[in-house]
A and B are shown apart, each in its own frame.
Chain A
Amino acid sequence: MSLLAPTSREPRIRYAGDVPDPDDALLVSRLRAGDEATFRDLVRRMHRGLVQVARSYVESPAAAEEVVQETWLAVVAQIDDFEGRSSLRTWIGTILCNRARTRGVRDKRSVPFSSLAPDDVDPVEPERFDARGFWSLPPARWDDGPENLTLRKEAREAIERELGTLPEAQRTVVTLRDLEGWSSEEVCNVLALSETNQRVLLHRGRQRLRAALERYHSGTGR
């Protein structure tokens, strides 16, 4: 298959609300006019999220980088075909996903979004509740959170370390929603997830990050 072969250009599932960002029209017109600074900025802004999505489907970080690279070449080749029926982010994400899935099939890698792992239950430790489901070990108050810049940086690093240990599907959803600022509709469309499953993955991921931050605050963070 050619590197620049056309791919499916619109998401398979469409949720209301996945509409072009008001800035998309200007962005796309600049790209079509050959504005290099705009393109470079787009590549830099989207890289982390796209690599994480690709990582969900392919065998290695190197393969994920390759898929992202191929995606940018496809975006360049197809930008005139963008019709604005979804956001630009969804359109680019969908191109990436189609390529990553194809690569994943070739690598015989299972797709983490096809089902939710049944043993991955709500991450608030069950022993913190009594038999009736009320707190026996309640969370401490953090007041206003760390205001000192150094402490804030340490807290961020504790979260970042935990992020790296999340199951792939949770890490992808948390990365796109909370680090990259994608909307739930964009995430659902690109990953072909239902709204409910997207929320479950987001919740489990966020609660695990919260637990890591709680350990950091209590001085037992790793």
Chain B
Amino acid sequence: MFACKDATEHMTDEREGALSGWVRVWYRLHLTICPHCRACRRQLDETVALTREIPPGDVPEKVVDTALAAFRDRRPKT
């Protein structure tokens, strides 16, 4: 029998398309009948969506300036 704990351990596998065989069958069956695991999966989906919205921080000007200086001095291969 596929328990809730087993289902929670496979939620990323499902998102990654990495479930196969009987695990996939049991997982899907469990999610169909278990509202709590469906809620957990929705929480995980929302978490990933919010994580993707985290804005990048500033890049130190020194990094950009040094890299750009090297880029300007670059001699392309002929």
Contact = CB atoms under 8 A, between A and B. Distances in A.
The main secondary structure of chain A at its interface with chain B is helix
Contacts of A129: 3-5
Given A122-B9, A213-B43, A80 B76 contact: yes
Interface in B26-65: 36-37, 39-40, 42-44, 46-54, 56-57, 59-60, 62-64
Interface string A96-135: 0000000000000000000000000010100001001111
A206 to B, nearest CB: 6
Given A39-B68, A133-B5, A156-B54, A47 B63 contact: yes
Contacts of A79: 74
B53 to A, nearest CB: 6
Given A141-B39, A210-B43, A76 B50 contact: no
Contacts of B59: 43-44, 47
Interface residues of B, number: 43
A207 B8 contact: yes
A133 B6 CA distance: 7
A138 B39 contact: yes
Contact of A142 (B6, B46, B48, B63): B46
A155 B47 CA distance: 9
A184 interface: yes
